[in-house]
Structure 1
């Protein structure tokens, strides 16, 4: 009861001390979307805590300063339903308040991960009073009637209870954080999906599966027919683009229809949860997804999450969500992020493999430079904070570049690159080209003078930002860059100057060496050696 009274008093205090600034929001800049916090765009250089770390302030105490020293500006931290509502209707905000206190003390922002009805498909973060009452909060069932430890998305009481807790959390955040805006986004549930079969077979689910496909879903598919993902084109358009019928009549028999059905109902649940939360405090909200391995059937992976082939179903079923975010633990990072960056879906990567992944820094540069990502965050970030490492070095460079990145987003003045990898880890070494500001840049992942691939080619990558008509920032590692003019005028590009250096805390360029001679192959290329994330400031000129 004390915590409820405290929250109420805080809300009254806010109401009587003047208007609040707008909460964090997503805002368009050109063809990009940016996260705006306290009126200014923000680039999330984040890390997600291990699932249990945030449950103990004492456990986290030694980590906060180390995370800040790694050049993070944001921590993604779980908030568990069982922790904040141990008894129904009685809330304990101590764990949330400790997160806020410690993040603020280290000048870090938070993305709150709501572990409510589901976490990695299962329902282990629900309170005991939910777990112990299957009559009120039924489990999903297998075809033989056995239950699994997954709350059914079709149970009205589950939606009502989860929504009350989630909206109470958002109300508390508004009461205690609306001025500081420590929390900048919220994740709704975690890696929703049905296991080990494609759909719930409980009585409520079976009744819903026998019902016609909802008109809202079919209307959305009809309105977006020309832009549907290829898998939905196959499932719906190639089957006749029916505008009425059962799930199997519209989407095909077996797992295909069952998974679309599952996706629709998970999306509707998440949308109602997000709406309840936004009614209390309209922070940006997203759902993350556990991706499927090739060749696996729905249920062998979490069926029905916002997977690449089901994005259209989720966009139709959960319009209140601001974005769908992939958790990427597979090698084919480039392919996967390319599917999630869409005009209707800004890119955010809340789990970019584990924090010690050698390809993680290059993936960050690619997502931010190529797709204007609003943020990047590897998992289990506190597990590597004893040593600086490659991620800390890469985040150092990205934090220096953040003002230039934010200014260039949506303008065509920035490009990111890294060698593409296939799912099996095969690396595609071929050089890549990017056109920026009248010049074509060719990026190679081998030393042009000694054409041997960098020893850690998978970790190579970078970005280029145009900052003046013929001036560019080239950042990364393990790359060699050559330039050629585009359009009318002299046909060759020369290096006017190349400086290594860094930006200080005030954003002022602090030059190091002026590079020439062997460092630029006698003016033929810009080279950022493997093993050190760095920035070079390059001025070009044209000649015949």
Structure 2
């Protein structure tokens, strides 16, 4: 066994240092950090397009380009059908090739487990699962027609998925626990029922006729004061019931049907995560396909860990470390604000396609305002030859990583961007943040002649306090004014403002001193639109 492990290690180009602790989540103040190889890590990430990782030849030129874009983490699918083409016989070649390539380019990986479900459907399962409908039953419509979605009520489906994921995790432990190339795992992908609210198979219908499980009832009773508004309205109208049917406790029709679906998806995901962690413990999460306003369950993936169903998932899947939204809608800040909770650290695995001009500002907001574990747009491999603004923004985040990690959970950091509604209208009114001894007002246009342009939604940045009167201001398209708060002189001025960069060793390399026209003779800090940059600022008070 030891010789086999050493041979596998050598094949992946690994040295043989002492075993490392698995990646883990650690609380820091009111933030949560991912700790890898004993150090906190901020994931500056991107997610590959769905089929990219299935071909080593396709991926060969991309790894170096992704690293050159200042990514340190790649979200990459591993599909069940590739690793277990024959039941009980595993092929690790695609996994091992990906590990070796990532390691050679100093990149970490988040594995996306495409098991029973991917975007609701069951298209990445092996042929031996697809073709055996008796052993691996499908979800059904009310008329009895099957859909291309495996039922949560297939006991053999869960057992087979658990075995495959546990085998993958055991393999990673054998070949990767000295380096921790893989830092997290996503359980399935965008779980939810389509095109109706729940599964109507015979097994599902029988379960729906049973009382609501006491585990869910007890959770809702215990957390009644902190339930999300939709669940609180749905639940408290009927009181803290200790028994009853789904429709008695959650309302008739689709309301009860969706809670029922959410509970059983959560239980399946919990069983899967528990089996994976038993083989090799590391942080695991489920991602979310969000619902559009005005749509009914089934017109979006019903029963997924949506904003109105977070409490059901928290009750049903305690083995998951958090729920992570995939955000393709304009109202990014509103969605992110709902998923950052004391019991749910924020991670954004997918946020628009990588070429969307709003992506960099979203990254700064999630990381600066909500201490996000990391951020990644989708289809990152599609832009790595012409990365544009994302590369420049990621370069700034890469330089600021040590300061961001140090400030997380301390109240010394804030992020900001214009708030955008679902209908794409933009609220570009100035925003206010108190950091240290100063109140900062951030404007997203010329403060003398405020106007909105098509680019305004992509403006944004963050501020980090590094000393008593010292701050780093980073971003683009922002103008920042400031005044003292608390006791002492009531006016604030700029002692010194330098643009500059941090070199690879973390040393500050100042550029121009901006105490003249660029700061309006000491009246504000301005980072112009079109260039993601950093300014190091020292303020002072006077009367």
Q: Give the TM-score normalised by structure 1.
A: 0.97
* In the alignment, structure 1 residue 358 sits paired with structure 2 residue 344: no
Q: Give the structure 1 partner of residue 511 of structure 2.
A: 512
The offset of 1:447, in angstroms, is 1.4
Q: Give the structure 1 partner of residue 386 of structure 2.
A: 387
Q: Give the structure 1 partner of residue 50 of structure 2.
A: 51
* In the alignment, structure 1 residue 499 sits paired with structure 2 residue 498: yes
Q: Distance in 2 between matches of 1:508 and 1:445?
A: 30
Contact 1:447 1:454 survives alignment (8 Å): no
Contact 1:232 1:312 survives alignment (8 Å): yes
Q: Distance in 2 between matches of 1:63 and 1:280?
A: 31
- Residue correspondence of structure 1 range 274-285 to structure 2 within 5 A: 274-285=273-284
Q: Distance in 2 between matches of 1:216 and 1:20?
A: 38
Q: Give the structure 2 partner of residue 103 of structure 1.
A: 102
* In the alignment, structure 1 residue 33 sits paired with structure 2 residue 61: no
Provide closer, same or farther for how the CA distance between residues 7 and 424 of structure 1 changes in structure 2, counting only shifts above 3 A.
Answer: farther
Contact 1:504 1:510 survives alignment (8 Å): yes
Q: Distance in 2 between matches of 1:236 and 1:75?
A: 40
Q: Distance in 2 between matches of 1:70 and 1:541?
A: 37
Contact 2:36 2:180 survives alignment (8 Å): yes
Q: Give the structure 2 partner of residue 339 of structure 1.
A: 338
Provide closer, same or farther for how the CA distance between residues 172 and 7 of structure 1 changes in structure 2, counting only shifts above 3 A.
Answer: farther
Q: Give the structure 2 partner of residue 255 of structure 1.
A: 254
- Residue correspondence of structure 1 range 55-204 to structure 2 within 5 A: 55-204=54-203
* Greater displacement, 19-28 / 512-521: 19-28
Q: Distance in 1 between matches of 2:294 and 2:93?
A: 45
Provide closer, same or farther for how the CA distance between residues 18 and 375 of structure 1 changes in structure 2, counting only shifts above 3 A.
Answer: closer
Q: Distance in 2 between matches of 1:290 and 1:208?
A: 25
Q: Distance in 2 between matches of 1:29 and 1:271?
A: 26
Q: Distance in 1 between matches of 2:533 and 2:17?
A: 45
Provide closer, same or farther for how the CA distance between residues 107 and 142 of structure 1 changes in structure 2, counting only shifts above 3 A.
Answer: same
Q: Distance in 2 between matches of 1:535 and 1:151?
A: 49
Query: Can you list the C-alpha shifts for 1:495-537, whole angstroms capped at 9, x where unaligned?
Result: 0000000000000000000002210011100000000000000
Q: Give the structure 2 partner of residue 535 of structure 1.
A: 534
Contact 1:440 1:484 survives alignment (8 Å): yes
Q: Distance in 2 between matches of 1:496 and 1:86?
A: 65
Q: Distance in 1 between matches of 2:539 and 2:433?
A: 16
The offset of 1:387, in angstroms, is 1.5
Q: Distance in 1 between matches of 2:377 and 2:346?
A: 15
Q: Distance in 2 between matches of 1:454 and 1:195?
A: 39
Contact 1:24 1:181 survives alignment (8 Å): yes
Q: Give the structure 2 partner of residue 14 of structure 1.
A: none
Query: Can you list the C-alpha shifts for 1:8-61, whole angstroms capped at 9, x where unaligned?
Result: 9869xxxxx896221000001111000000000000000000000000000001
Q: Distance in 1 between matches of 2:266 and 2:17?
A: 37
Q: Secondary structure at the match of 2:291?
A: coil
- Residue correspondence of structure 1 range 276-295 to structure 2 within 5 A: 276-295=275-294
Q: Give the structure 2 partner of residue 214 of structure 1.
A: 213
RMSD over aligned Cα, in angstroms?
1.5
Provide closer, same or farther for how the CA distance between residues 538 and 219 of structure 1 changes in structure 2, counting only shifts above 3 A.
Answer: same
The offset of 1:449, in angstroms, is 3.9
Q: Distance in 1 between matches of 2:527 and 2:272?
A: 47
Q: Secondary structure at the match of 1:96?
A: helix
Q: Distance in 1 between matches of 2:253 and 2:5?
A: 49
Q: Secondary structure at the match of 1:72?
A: coil
Q: Distance in 2 between matches of 1:8 and 1:487?
A: 61
The offset of 1:451, in angstroms, is 3.2
Contact 2:17 2:178 survives alignment (8 Å): no
Query: Can you list the C-alpha shifts for 1:184-209, whole angstroms capped at 9, x where unaligned?
Result: 00000000000000000001111110
Contact 2:324 2:346 survives alignment (8 Å): yes
Q: Give the structure 2 partner of residue 349 of structure 1.
A: 348
Q: Distance in 2 between matches of 1:379 and 1:140?
A: 29
Contact 1:369 1:464 survives alignment (8 Å): yes
The offset of 1:122, in angstroms, is 0.3
Provide closer, same or farther for how the CA distance between residues 146 and 20 of structure 1 changes in structure 2, counting only shifts above 3 A.
Answer: same
Q: Secondary structure at the match of 1:144?
A: coil
Q: Give the structure 2 partner of residue 311 of structure 1.
A: 310
Contact 2:191 2:301 survives alignment (8 Å): yes
Q: Secondary structure at the match of 2:225?
A: helix
Q: Distance in 2 between matches of 1:387 and 1:9?
A: 39
Contact 2:116 2:161 survives alignment (8 Å): yes
Q: Give the structure 2 partner of residue 524 of structure 1.
A: 523
Q: Distance in 2 between matches of 1:378 and 1:18?
A: 34
Contact 1:445 1:454 survives alignment (8 Å): no
Q: Give the structure 1 partner of residue 298 of structure 2.
A: 299
Q: Give the TM-score normalised by structure 2.
A: 0.97
Contact 1:38 1:181 survives alignment (8 Å): yes
Query: Can you list the C-alpha shifts for 1:90-120, whole angstroms capped at 9, x where unaligned?
Result: 0000000011010001000000000000000
* In the alignment, structure 1 residue 408 sits paired with structure 2 residue 373: no
Query: Can you list the C-alpha shifts for 1:437-487, whole angstroms capped at 9, x where unaligned?
Result: 010000001112443345510110000000000000000000000001001
Q: Distance in 2 between matches of 1:129 and 1:318?
A: 28
Contact 1:82 1:127 survives alignment (8 Å): yes
For structure 2, the 5+ residue unaligned runs are: 10-15
Contact 1:7 1:172 survives alignment (8 Å): no
